[in-house]
Amino acid sequence: MRLPILAKEPHAAGFQLRLLAAILLVILALTTLAFYFAQWKITAQAEKGFQRNFQAALSTLHQLQELRHATLTERCRLLAEKPRIHAALEDNALDLLYPSARDELHDLMVGDDRAYNQSSLSAKFYRFLGPNGSVLHPNRDDEVGDLDPAIEAQLSLSSLPQIPQVGYIEYTDKSTQNLAEVIAVPIFSTETGDPISALVVGFKPTDLVRATPDSGITSGLWVNNRLYGGLQHDVPRIVAENIAKAVADGGTDQNNLKVSAKGVSYLVFYKRLNPRSAFPAGYEICLYSLTGAKVQVNRLRWQIGTTSFFLFLGGLVASHFVSSQFSAPVEKLALDSERNREQRRRAEDALISTSEQLKRSTRYSADASHQLKSPVTILRSGIEALLERDKFQPEVYEELSALLHQTRRLTGVIDDLLLLSRMDAGHLIISRESINLSRVIDQWLDDLNALPDSAEIKIEKAYPSELWIRGEERYTSLIVQNLLENARKYNRPAGEILVRARTHDHSIIVTIGNTGSSIPQDAQPHIFKRFHYSSSTSGHGLGLNVARDLTRLHGGDIHLVRSSDDWTEFELRFPTAS
């Protein structure tokens, strides 16, 4: 931790702590997520791998099984085709059937050696079926393999099959209960082509457990709701029950299921060994214990857990480093920000002070104007009263007239100042009534014509009789008056005033041009400023300023179009009433 900064700037230190906590939280969440997904993925993949191995091992076993079935079936079929057997069946010599078969099937039954007798390729018994599918009983000394009559009856079929059939039956061999795999091959008449008999041969079923000692698979046969083979001793009862249920409910010839018993999970695969057979169904059951797989998966989980822990530790260190790196500029930013805040506060204070000063100034000019207005009015009234008397010398009258003119001028200045101070204070509210600007201009042109020194000035006008704008008439009148009086005031003898107006793009544009001396080029940008004087003008410097401010309050504007070569022209623009 950087304690000096903490001491100096508590906000910046808090940021570093929060950043560190946030990064730690993110790393913790990511590590947890990664751990969870990795172990989930690896468990799923491991299980898939076990399934795949299991299926591959099973596939090999099934190929062996199918090969064995095909071999045995073909062998039985070849034996059943023997001419003596056909002759016995076709030439009505059934008494010679089993004696003939004894010779033909001798090899299948006995074989050459003891090992063959123990193998699953050695036949344990055989019988022939008659035309109705029932067993043709042999004589005792026919060496066909002893069978209890009840078991022998299990070999009978409802009718002779058209294709080889595989079945599983229980039989007693040397007082031991055993399961036999029987293969029934049809015998077709060489004369009619119809099945006339079937040879049913019983074999010892293949022991898949012994066949695959290293595959981790145990297997057995499921016939008549019982398990046979090496499996029956290993399988917990609950697994057997699950298998029975799956076989009974499944309706399919093969399926996978996962069964747990006594804390051990098993992958179970069952497959009907004799689909579409006329004999009762026999299923091959293969079990794969997931104990070893579980140990492997747990080991993987531990490995992932340890890796995640170290990753988290690494993340801790990295986050501290990253938070230090990131917080440094932020601390600097915080300091800068504090300085900026101070500067802003000072600027705001200055602004408030200036605003107060402005307000005070506005109030002062308004108050001053009000205070001046009364004495000037009294002064003017007094001078007018003196002029009405006739006992003075003519020089005195002349002086008084000059005084009256100056007081009137002073009154005009005071009125303008009052109006401006109201505008500055924001107290001037313009009403929005319809005004015919043409009429206002007409009135003021008439007044101009009436003035004594205007006779020699030519006034021309070109505008429609109606130009409607929105505003307050006394102020629009004041605007027009200011501009027209300027046009007259600064005209030359025998000069000209031209007033034009037109409507253009929702605006009414009035241009007022006059002859006379031009406004100097350097003065042109300042003519609308308050108290602007130039050497060539005789006004008090408020008229144009008042006119422009009032026009802007009406939503319009004034500007100088040109002032050169004996022609000065202003353009006045108002929005139309519509």
Nearest to another protein of 100, 274 (CB atom): 100
CB of 191 to another protein, least distance (A): 4
Nearest to another protein of 186, 282 (CB atom): 186
- CA nearest 544: which of 564, 524, 562? 524
CB of 288 to another protein, least distance (A): 48
Collapsing DSSP states into helix, strand and coil, what is residue 222?
A: strand
How far is residue 195's CA from residue 486's CA, in Å, rounded to a whole number? 136
Q: How far is CA 468 from the centre of its chain?
A: 57
Nearest to another protein of 82, 573 (CB atom): 82
DSSP secondary structure, 1-59, as one string = --HHHHHH-HHHHHHHHHHHHHHHHHHHHHHHHHHHHHHHHHHHHHHHHHHHHHHHHHH
CB of 83 to another protein, least distance (A): 5
User: Hey, what are 196's tokens?
Assistant: 């006339």
Nearest to another protein of 80, 519 (CB atom): 80
User: Hey, what are 234's tokens?
Assistant: 């290993």
Nearest to another protein of 92, 535 (CB atom): 92
Nearest to another protein of 94, 402 (CB atom): 94
Collapsing DSSP states into helix, strand and coil, what is residue 462?
A: strand
Nearest to another protein of 192, 521 (CB atom): 192
Which element (helix H / strand E) includes 572? Answer: strand 567-575
CB of 143 to another protein, least distance (A): 19
Q: How far apart are the first and last CA of the chain?
A: 71
Nearest to another protein of 49, 83 (CB atom): 83
Give yes or no for a contact between 136 and 127, defined as CB atoms under 8 angstroms apart.
yes
Collapsing DSSP states into helix, strand and coil, what is residue 392?
A: coil
Residue 143, CB half-sphere, CA atoms under 13 Å: how many? 13
Nearest to another protein of 91, 148 (CB atom): 91
DSSP secondary structure, 301-361, as one string = HHHHHHHHHHHHHHHHHHHHHHHHHHHHHHHHHHHHHHHHHHHHHHHHHHHHHHHHHHHHH
User: Hey, what are 335's tokens?
Assistant: 């300091």
Which amino acid is present at 319?
S
How far is residue 331's CA from residue 12's CA, in Å, rounded to a whole number? 5
Nearest to another protein of 87, 418 (CB atom): 87
CB of 108 to another protein, least distance (A): 18
CB of 118 to another protein, least distance (A): 31
CB of 92 to another protein, least distance (A): 6
Beta carbons within 10 angstroms of residue 307's beta carbon: 14
Residue 478, CB half-sphere, CA atoms under 13 Å: how many? 21
What does the binding site for another protein look like in residue numbers (CB under 8 A)?
81-84, 86-88, 91-93, 96, 189-192
User: Hey, what are 170's tokens?
Assistant: 């229980």
How far is residue 326's CA from residue 22's CA, in Å, rounded to a whole number? 13
CB of 89 to another protein, least distance (A): 9
CB of 209 to another protein, least distance (A): 41
Nearest to another protein of 189, 536 (CB atom): 189
Nearest to another protein of 56, 93 (CB atom): 93
- CA nearest 68: which of 60, 57, 79, 78? 60
Residues 6+ apart with CB under 8 A from 554: 430, 469, 470, 471, 475, 476, 479, 574, 575
How far is residue 64's CA from residue 470's CA, in Å, rounded to a whole number? 107
- CA nearest 7: which of 309, 331, 300, 431? 331
CB of 69 to another protein, least distance (A): 25
Residue in the block written with tokens 């689909």: 275
CB of 91 to another protein, least distance (A): 4
CB of 192 to another protein, least distance (A): 5
